[in-house]
Every structure is written in structure tokens, then in C-alpha cells.
Amino acid sequence: MKLTKLIMLVLLLVFCCGFEFNSYQLSKWSKAVRARDNNNCFMCDRVFDGPGELEAHHIMPKSKYPTICYEMWNGITLCDPCHLIPHKSKLNHKKYAPMFLAYTLTFEGPLP
Ligand SMILES: [Zn+2]
């Protein structure tokens, strides 16, 4: 009985999250952000060719602000190690946001 409830809960969570964040839309957004930034990490300035080394970082967390998670100005390109820095703590996330926004808001990008 307990296991059934747990499975139902997991299914419900997967179902709800799938509705909130469209993985196809997210990957399209991520690709557009990385292309805008010329596959260049904003923090360490390294350029990458291979996939999987660069990520699009949500400046305003998508869990907190789901309605703006596909906005171009809300994304910035970071490499794997640098992406850990703003995610180290909530304080770090807030600390880096103005610097990231000062850069992304200079672009007039269309929605992906
Ligand atoms: Zn980097």
C-alpha cells in the first residue's frame, strides 16, 4: 500500500514537472543562448566546440520564476566548472545575477 502511494506521488511529480518545464523548449532555449554567446563561457572566457561542456545558466532560477525560463535575457553561457559557482549558494546566485543581466540585457534577442 505504501509503495503504491509512493509510485503515485513520483508519477504525479514527473507529470507536473513535465508540464511546467518543457524539456524540448528548454534545450531549444539553451542552444539559442549558447549560440548568442558564441559558445564562450562568460566567466572564464574559454571557447568550446564539443557538446556537453557548456551550459545555459538561468540567471533568475527557473524553479522560482518558471514564466520567464525561456527568455533569452534570462540565460547566460557558462562552462561546467563555472556553472557550479553561482549554484554554490543562494547568496552566490544573487551575487552574480546583476553582472550576468548587465550583459544579457544588451542583446535584443527573440524568443527561441
Ligand atoms: Zn567557464
Kind and range of the H or E run holding 29: helix 23-36
Residue-wise pLDDT tens digits, 16-49? 554 568 999 999 999 999 999 999 999 998 877 7
Q: How many helices (H) and strands (E) does the chain have?
A: 4, 2
DSSP code string of 76-91? EEEEHHHHTTTTS-HH
CA of 106 from ligand 1 middle (Å) equals: 20
CA of 54 from ligand 1 middle (Å) equals: 8
Instruction: Pull the grid cell for residue 6.
Output: 509512493
Residue-wise pLDDT tens digits, 47-73? 777 666 899 999 999 999 999 999 999
Distance of CA 15 to the CA centre of its chain: 20
CA of 56 from ligand 1 middle (Å) equals: 11
CA of 81 from ligand 1 middle (Å) equals: 6
